């Protein structure tokens, strides 16, 4: 197993208020004995409201197959963005959380004791820059002088900044930092000219809007983004087998989609408040990786050799540093250590 590194400085931040009722993860778990006999009483999981492998696994109670029989309760806590998830990680309130890879970078840059253990999906048309049908905005350059909303420090924010930079108008656009629900409300009021956001909020915008550019197109321009899973190292290092069980539930959720996309869409549609047709379109708007693809050279790599996604993270980090989002960009070695494929490898060895 490769050695993990984190920065020497610490961040102290209050947890999101929604987590208070659940208590800290350190308070709700039993310490493992030297023989490794005890198990945690519960696992706290932060997730995004997107139709991915985790949402399928949650809805189908696949996590229960690995944890409930062991007497472990799973608590699921929804976050609007990775910013909230990182606040919870900083307070020790959660064990796992899904977020965009940009917030994974911020977690590492701020010295949070976490690691990246899974890529949920490589983002495509599930995330995009939307403009109104009657706006006469036909290309990115037409946004000069206009107001565009996004969620700061998100993958959408990163992609938006990159395409604005590529178009040479980054300093000519007013950017507004909004949560996804506020983006939809501002769009309906006519307060913004465009917005870069993700599903399901993107779907509301597209009811009377069009996609100007998607994250799939941004990736083709060299700006790849992904939704990732971070885990608290205090948990993963104590419970490597349970962490591998978590990966197994995600693989099972992804397999449902790969084997029967229509069934997978029906599973997630109702919990997300969308139609099965919309759910399917959203799921097809990103790339879902198999466990074997996860640890390929193109993505996470292996415990012996880091994959190309680590370089994507470093390049994105350097960009965020230039934008002032972070105060220091981790080194390539630190990103190589931050991305830990060990638990996927353990799953494949079972």
Please give, one letter per residue, the 3-state secondary structure of the chain.
CCCCCCCCCCCCCCCCHHHHHHCCCCCCCCCCCCCCCCCCCEEEEEECCCCCHHHHHHHCCHHHHHHHHHCCEEEEEECCCHHHHHHHHHHCCCCEEEEEHHHHHHHHHCCCCEEEEEEEEEECCCEEEEEECCCCCCCHHHHCCCEEEECCCCHHHHHHHHHHHHHCCHHHCEEEECCHHHHHHHHHHCCCCEEEEECCHHHHHCCCEEEEEEHHHHHHCCCCCEEEEEEEHHHHCCCHHHHHHHHHHHHHHHHHHHHCHHHHHHHHHHHHCCCHHHHHHHHCCEECCCHHHHCCCCCCECCCCECHHHHHHHHHHHHHHHCCCCCCCCCHHHHHHHECCHHHHHHHHC
How would you write the pLDDT of the chain (350 residues) with one tens digit per residue?
Answer: 443 433 333 333 333 333 333 444 444 444 443 335 699 999 999 999 999 999 999 999 999 999 999 999 999 999 988 999 999 999 999 999 999 999 999 999 999 999 999 999 999 999 999 999 999 999 999 999 999 999 998 999 999 999 999 999 999 999 999 999 999 999 999 999 999 999 889 999 999 999 999 999 999 998 999 999 999 999 999 999 999 999 999 999 999 999 999 999 999 999 999 999 999 999 998 999 999 999 999 999 999 999 999 999 999 999 999 989 999 999 999 999 999 999 999 999 99
Reported as a single tens digit per residue, the pLDDT across 38-96 is 999 999 999 999 999 999 999 999 999 999 999 999 999 999 889 999 999 999 999 99
Same fold: 17-123+224-349 with 127-220? yes
Say which CATH topology domain 127-220 has: D-Maltodextrin-Binding Protein; domain 2 (3.40.190)
What pLDDT sits at residue 37? Answer: 64
What pLDDT sits at residue 81? Answer: 84
pTM for this predicted structure: 0.85
What pLDDT sits at residue 226? Answer: 97
Q: Return the CATH number of the domain spanning residue range 17-123+224-349.
A: 3.40.190.10
Reported as a single tens digit per residue, the pLDDT across 182-222 is 999 999 999 999 999 998 899 999 999 999 999 999 999 98
Domains of the chain by residue range? 17-123+224-349, 127-220
């Amino acid at each position: 197993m490769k050695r993990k590194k984190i920065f020497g400085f610490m961040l102290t931040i209050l947890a999101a208020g929604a987590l208070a009722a659940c208590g800290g993860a350190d308070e709700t778990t039993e310490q493992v004995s030297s023989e490794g006999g005890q198990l945690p009483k519960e696992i706290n999981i932060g997730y995004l409201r997107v139709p991915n492998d985790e949402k399928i696994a949650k809805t189908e109670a696949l996590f229960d197959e690995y944890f409930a029989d062991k007497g472990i309760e799973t608590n699921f806590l929804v976050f609007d963005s990775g910013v909230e998830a990182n606040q919870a990680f900083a307070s020790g309130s959660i064990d796992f959380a899904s977020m965009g890879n940009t917030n994974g970078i911020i977690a590492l840059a701020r010295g949070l004791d976490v690691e990246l253990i899974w890529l949920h999906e490589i983002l495509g048309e599930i995330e995009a820059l939307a403009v109104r049908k009657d706006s006469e905005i036909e290309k990115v350059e037409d946004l000069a002088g206009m107001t565009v909303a996004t969620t700061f420090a998100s993958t959408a924010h990163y992609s938006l900044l990159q395409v604005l930079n590529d178009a040479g108008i980054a300093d000519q656009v007013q950017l507004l930092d909004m949560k996804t629900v506020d983006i939809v409300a501002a769009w309906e009021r006519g307060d913004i000219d465009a917005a870069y956001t993700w599903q399901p909020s993107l779907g509301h915008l597209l009811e009377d809007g069009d996609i100007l550019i998607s994250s799939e197109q941004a990736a083709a321009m060299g700006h790849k983004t992904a939704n990732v899973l971070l885990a608290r190292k205090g948990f993963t290092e104590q419970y490597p087998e349970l962490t591998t069980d978590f990966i197994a539930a995600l693989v099972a959720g992804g397999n449902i989609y790969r084997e029967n996309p229509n069934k997978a869409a029906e599973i997630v549609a109702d919990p997300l408040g969308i139609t099965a047709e919309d759910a399917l379109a959203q799921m097809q708007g990103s790339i879902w990786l198999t466990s074997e693809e996860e640890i390929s050279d193109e993505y996470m790599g292996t415990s012996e050799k880091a994959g190309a996604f680590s370089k994507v993270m470093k390049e994105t980090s350097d960009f965020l540093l230039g934008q002032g989002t972070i105060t220091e960009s981790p080194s390539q070695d630190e990103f190589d250590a931050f991305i830990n494929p060990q638990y996927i490898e353990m799953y494949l060895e079972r």
